[in-house]
Structure 1
């Protein structure tokens, strides 16, 4: 599996998230397992490829929409979003990592037993209802978008990929997987929460039977299929309870008005279909024995009541200690340091604000992370610790002038930059000491920036001669006589230096250089050409003023006093250098 984004493993995103394994790769995005080097935790980083064919038909703004959509859903069965930003021109989001793979990985091993399938689908519906309650339709529920965590219970199932999600019943462009899309949506109808219910029913059908209700997978084939033709799940798996098979089939074949309206309604149907528990009674008759006396019956009932009460108390105590006093931690990450305490109090929690951390993507004062994480267990009324952002980390380039190489390296190491050393001659700075840095002292840089330190080679054996106003040939001869060479040549206009003569050099005159050094020069092209204005039809005085404002010398020929210019020696629109002599005639 190769990434579509071209991003290599080992890349550090935003100076924080090191990509270490490609989890999934699709037509327009890659998902990597990564390590958050600041918090030392495993996360998932989703990068979109802006050059992919799919991305050209799907706005990159949808990626930002996905991050905001998931961040707005605080639920243990919806994958949590921790961060977002851009790597070059590739947007990314940082999400909670589910270590058990996707439901598709589980289905590749065969059908799921009915009991386990119902447990999974209940959590899918709980997470989906968190979206439906906010008017959000997922639009692409399928096994690939359902993750399964290992060693988890209430939050084992995580819904991901809200990139196609929309609010309300938006009927935007359809990019979902055909086999799981509701028939009315395939035919151009509105996308509603009932469409998500259809998708969930198809997923449950596939878990029970090892296949979807219809064999077709492409859009055209699926559209030609009638939902009423779907066979009962029991035809493929007789172990599926009849009530459960009926509930699943009804959600698949029913038209939208008769289908459960949202995830909550479908969850009720599933619970109703699976809630009947029948006891299996023994078939062989038990041997007869004497009926107990009234006193014996009273003692037995009293003993049973006492034991039952003790057992109930023990169960309640164990439940309270292990589960009852715990709830799922809400998301506080959309708050800031000024609002988080009041918001948490409204949710029934206290907040502790931890030490801040720097971030290139999260503004100062907003929240980077929380502990416990979103969806993790926390005691009712307990404390949630949040980590605020300090904004981008910046350092000022120190003044290293006159310091040794070792002292400069140690000072730059303290701010975490990549230091390289170079050298140049100096008539004022002793050999081996710092002359200057690039970037210069006082400039602000981020950790990890490149800084070049220039050390002195001492006084130079040669100095650049003054070549200004020399012709190109004269300058070249002068350099060769000193053991120097003419370097790059650049041309520029000049009002003071004649064409073909030297305007300036780099290094400048007087600077020290070594033997055989190359001296770059700027050669004059003469004055910059100016477009000659059109002054015909104007008075001589006005025409003269216009020409002189452009830098031209004016000569006048007046045939009639007070007349108008009828001719100019250089036609309007032509280009001439400033100082050019132009004749004007008036009559």
Structure 2
């Protein structure tokens, strides 16, 4: 059993040793850490104090409620949470891999890799939606790519940062009508300030898949909410070079009317079928995990 008595005062909560900073966000900093009791590496999200301390603490409590209730291989696992500590902190699974943003910057995903990722993230969202949770900020920087042990799979996609998730049956942290999320990936109804619902996550995932396949954002000029209003009138352009099944799926996921979009489970099933029937001429592997990759993952969890 690891020795937890030496320098115990230097340990967070008497158990966690902080290492390098992996990422910084508006409400927290994320560190590589060590659980000296279990002898494993973890990611530790330390909530920052300050003028927004109350709001940050409320958001952190919401994230704990979400992550503690959800269990899926494509959701980042919560190990521990001490929100009454000074400072409050969360202890999570350390994902040793880059974000999807970093991966796309290297090259677009192959159709089969994108289909597998779509199925994994669709399943994760299905689990969340079934628990009454809407993520509200599905985007490439919130998708972490853990190296896969399987030779025919490039990675296992994991959805991170439920810090701004909306708990359907609980009090809202944000004000009614307040737009939360990243402008480039907002669904039309989010732009209008409508209460978040599962179709908004499906729409955002559709935009993420378009970007993954093409290397370009579906709405590249969406620098703010005002610009994002344009999507109320027209859906994103679906690349003509994609196979018909891909075009149909992406078109359905990004329909303007949320009632016309498939559920996350439908997306997962259709993507699984695409993955089974799609073959790629090339196979690429992720770069070796390290400080840069882990740092990208940590930045996603710091938001």
Given the two structures, how large is their TM-score scaled by the length of structure 1?
0.42
Deviation at 1:207, TM superposition (A): 0.2
- Aligned with residue 217 of structure 2, among 209, 212, 219: 212
> 2-side partners of 1:151 and 1:132: how far apart?
26
- Aligned with residue 223 of structure 1, among 221, 224, 229: 229
Deviation at 1:115, TM superposition (A): 1.0
The 1:97/1:185 distance shift into structure 2, 3 A limit, reads same
Would you say the 8 A contact 2:70–2:128 is kept in 1? yes
The superposition leaves residues 298-346 of structure 1 with CA deviations (integer Å, 9 ceiling, x where unpaired) of xxxxxxxxxxxxxxxxxxxxxxxxxxxxxxxxxxxxxxxxxxxxxxxxx
- Show the counterpart of 1:183: 188
Would you say the 8 A contact 1:85–1:92 is kept in 2? yes
Q: Secondary structure at the match of 2:131?
A: coil
- Show the counterpart of 2:59: 62
- Show the counterpart of 1:34: 33
Deviation at 1:81, TM superposition (A): 0.9
Would you say the 8 A contact 1:13–1:87 is kept in 2? no
Q: Secondary structure at the match of 2:106?
A: coil
Mapping of residues 482-497 of structure 1, within 5 Å: none
The 1:277/1:203 distance shift into structure 2, 3 A limit, reads closer
Q: Number of aligned residue pairs: give it.
A: 262
> 1-side partners of 2:87 and 2:72: how far apart?
28
- Show the counterpart of 2:14: 15
- 1:166 aligned onto 2:185: no
Mapping of residues 493-512 of structure 1, within 5 Å: none
Greater radius of gyration (CA): 1
> 2-side partners of 1:277 and 1:209: how far apart?
17
Given the two structures, how large is their TM-score scaled by the length of structure 2?
0.78
> 2-side partners of 1:230 and 1:86: how far apart?
41
Structure 1: which 5+ runs fail to align? 1-10, 279-587
The 1:139/1:107 distance shift into structure 2, 3 A limit, reads same
Q: Secondary structure at the match of 2:254?
A: helix
Q: Which has the higher strand share?
A: 1
The superposition leaves residues 489-517 of structure 1 with CA deviations (integer Å, 9 ceiling, x where unpaired) of xxxxxxxxxxxxxxxxxxxxxxxxxxxxx
The 1:17/1:87 distance shift into structure 2, 3 A limit, reads farther
- Show the counterpart of 1:194: 199
> 2-side partners of 1:45 and 1:75: how far apart?
20
The superposition leaves residues 230-261 of structure 1 with CA deviations (integer Å, 9 ceiling, x where unpaired) of 22223xxx3x323202311331134111111x
> 2-side partners of 1:205 and 1:177: how far apart?
16
> 1-side partners of 2:272 and 2:39: how far apart?
40
> 1-side partners of 2:83 and 2:13: how far apart?
8
- 1:248 aligned onto 2:250: yes
> 1-side partners of 2:107 and 2:136: how far apart?
26
Q: Secondary structure at the match of 1:21?
A: strand
Q: Which has the higher helix share?
A: 2
> 2-side partners of 1:120 and 1:241: how far apart?
17
Q: Secondary structure at the match of 2:161?
A: coil
The 1:50/1:135 distance shift into structure 2, 3 A limit, reads same
Would you say the 8 A contact 1:18–1:35 is kept in 2? yes
Structure 2: which 5+ runs fail to align? 1-9, 280-303
Higher RCO (CA-CA < 8 Å; seq separation 6+): 2
- Aligned with residue 257 of structure 1, among 242, 259, 268: 259
